[in-house]
Amino acid sequence: MPNNRGRTPLSSAAEHGHDGVVNLLLGREDINPDMPDSSGQTPLAWAAMRGHDIVVKLLLGREDVNPDMPDSSGQTPLSLAAGNGQNRVVELLLRRENIKPDMPDNGGQTPLSWAAMNGRDGVVKLLLRREDVNPDTPDNCNHTPLSWAARNGCDEVVRLLVGRKDVNPDIPDNVGQKPRSLAALNGYDGVVKLLFEREDVSPDIPDTCGQTPLSLAAENGRDEVAKLLLGREDVNPNMPDNGGRTAFLWAAGNGHDRVVKLLLKREAVNPDLPDHGGRRPLWWAAFNGHDGVVKLLLEREDVNPNIPDNRGRTPLSVASTKRNKGVVKLLQGQKSTNPSTV
């Protein structure tokens, strides 16, 4: 009899890899070897997810076991095994002719997508050997396997996928972010390097918000990615996003001192470009109370501390309003600061 979660003794034995118990239970005529629990997972699904290959073999030996039955989320035993990096189980399932190795779940993720997302490079290799597996299938959010691997910093999986001619490294997700942007955003410089080995990947294409990989790296303080991108001649460090914010403005406004210093080493970087509201990097650093960035900017002759935004607010006035005492002290100590702008 199943428990309150629909789990039968066979289901529990399969989950925990008790092959002797599984073998004993399968010998009974009153046992349904394919009964799903309340989440739709069959004994085979549990064994596949946990990597119990002996139990999987026992269950696959039964004609009344469907090796491709999805659970309530649409994941098949292969999908569960792939996502959890169970190489031996994946090999067993892929030998079956009645397995669909590219079946998406309810969210549109295929077994390859799950393996790529979780960095299961061994499983990725097994799946990519199949001609009936599309390495570029997007899920419901338009994330491809490469997109997931780049987003999660799975270097080896990225290496496997970008090495294939049938993988498009430039497919954007539903919010317009491409694999290179996701890698830059999350600080995975190794993945960024791998993506740029492809000639069809441009390092300076913006997403739907107008942010380039450099802009995203700067916004989030990813100094290693920023350093990598700034070393390229085909990256424009002053490219503004849809709100007029440059990479430098993002770094300054968020207090990322190390990225600010990296950007200032590039002669082409203008440290005083305003956004569409007239707010400059110094303004944002003052507003957010980033003393270290304010100090760096005040040391420069090409930064004017008195320029107001479109509403007439200067760095000193917003720092005073926000009670950022350290910034106020720095600005008031600057000879070029007009004290009447408070």
Which residue segments constitute the domains of the chain, with CATH numbers given? Answer: 1-65+76-94 (1.25.40.20), 133-201 (1.25.40.20), 207-270 (1.25.40.20), 285-342 (1.25.40)
Q: How many residues are listed for the chain in this entry?
A: 342
| Mean local confidence (pLDDT), 315-341 | 85
pLDDT at position 333, please?
A: 85
The mean pLDDT value for 239-267 works out to: 97
Residues 6+ apart with CB under 8 A from 337: 305, 306, 316, 331
Mean pLDDT in residue range 57-80: 96
Residue of 46, 41, 35 whose CA lies nearest to 13: 46
Asked whether residue 49 carries a pLDDT value surpassing 90, the answer given is yes
Query: What is the DSSP annotation of 112-172?
Result: HHHHHHTT-HHHHHHHHT-TT--TT---TT---HHHHHHHTT-HHHHHHHHT-TT--TT--
**pLDDT-above-90 percentage for the chain:** 91
CA distances 50 to 43, 96, 105, 161, Å, are 11, 19, 19, 26
The CA-atom distances, in angstroms, between 129 and each of 101, 159, 205 are 11, 15, 32
Looking at the chain, the whole-number percentage of residues with pLDDT higher than 70 is: 96
Q: How confident is the model at residue 335 (pLDDT cuts 50, 70, 90)?
A: low
Q: What confidence tier does 341 reach under pLDDT thresholds 50, 70, 90?
A: low
Please determine, for residue 268, whether its predicted confidence score (pLDDT) is greater than 70: yes
Judge whether residue 339 has pLDDT over 70.
no
Kind and range of the H or E run holding 299: none
φ, ψ dihedrals at 230, nearest 5°: -70, -15
Q: What is the mean pLDDT of residues 111-121?
A: 98
Give residue 227's pLDDT: 97
Q: What is the dihedral of CA 161, 94, 17, 39, to 10 degrees?
A: 80
- Is the pLDDT confidence value at 241 over 70? yes
pLDDT of residue 5: 76
How high does pLDDT run on average in the chain?
A: 94
Whole-model pTM: value is 0.91
The terminus-to-terminus CA distance of the chain in angstroms comes to: 76
pLDDT band, very low/low/confident/very high, at 89 (cuts 50, 70, 90): very high
Q: How confident is the model over 153-158, as a mean pLDDT?
A: 98
pLDDT band at 68 (very low <50, low <70, confident <90, very high): very high
| pLDDT computed for residue 338 by the predictor | 63
The string of pLDDT tens digits covering residues 270-294 is: 999 999 999 999 999 999 999 999 9
Q: Which pLDDT belongs to residue 167?
A: 97
Sign of CA dihedral 124, 229, 205, 252: positive
